[in-house]
Amino acid sequence: MGHRVFGRHLGRSHGHRKMLWRVLIRQLIEHESVKTTEAKAKAIRSQAEKLITLARNRGDADRLIELAKEGDQEQLKKLLTDAQANRLLRAAEGDDKEELGREAHAIAAHAQRLAARAVPDRRLLQKLFHDIAPRYVERPGGYTRIVRLGPRKGDAAPMVMLQLLEEE
């Protein structure tokens, strides 16, 4: 019975599967495309998109400060947790620039720590937060595409290219 079983197991143990996902996500961030089987691409696609969304929403402290100064409560609540948004708005209302900057940088640092769980390489984290995420600020999701390449020669496994979309 497969009740409450979520995710693709790919015929591997938990540790092996976790490392496979980590390697594929690292390659996707580093090269912005990765050639793999269709099952593996579909397994990591959602995780990669969640990382990009995290970096896009919470990774830019300057953008958070700007939204808080404008008093854009609706947008902040969409991007952050309610507690984070309230702390930013409270600091902006009090005209405490130091507190506002400290809070925004704390949120951005927390986002980087969360992303570092999946991508422990600092160079790739920098690329994710400073090169990849800013591309998709206006895009609500769907940062990757799967292009079918045909069957693999040895075992006829369906091969695909998982790519990050270009800028708008």
CATH number of the domain at 72, please: 3.90.1030.10
Task: Give domain status of residue 58, yes or no.
Answer: yes
What is the structure's pLDDT at 93? 87
Q: Residue 126 falls within a domain, yes or no?
A: yes
> Does 68 map to a domain?
yes
The residue among 161 and 73 whose pLDDT is bigger is 161
168 confidence band (pLDDT: 50, 70, 90): low
What angle do helix axes 97-116 and 38-58 make, rounded to 10 degrees? 170
Does residue 69 belong to any structural domain of this protein?
A: yes
**pTM reported for the whole predicted model:** 0.87
Is 140 strand, coil or helix? coil
pLDDT at 100 over 70: yes
The residue-averaged pLDDT of 106-135 equals 94
β-partners of residue 146 are 162
Q: How many domains does the chain have?
A: 1
In a domain, 38, yes or no: yes
Q: Which percentage of the chain shows pLDDT scores above 70?
A: 98
Task: Identify whether the C-beta of residue 64 lies closer than 8 Å to the C-beta of residue 58.
Answer: yes
Per-residue confidence at 39, pLDDT binned at 50, 70, 90?
A: very high
Which domain range does residue 142 map to?
A: 33-164
Identify whether 60 is part of a domain. yes
4 in a structural domain: no
The answer as to whether 22 is a domain residue is: no
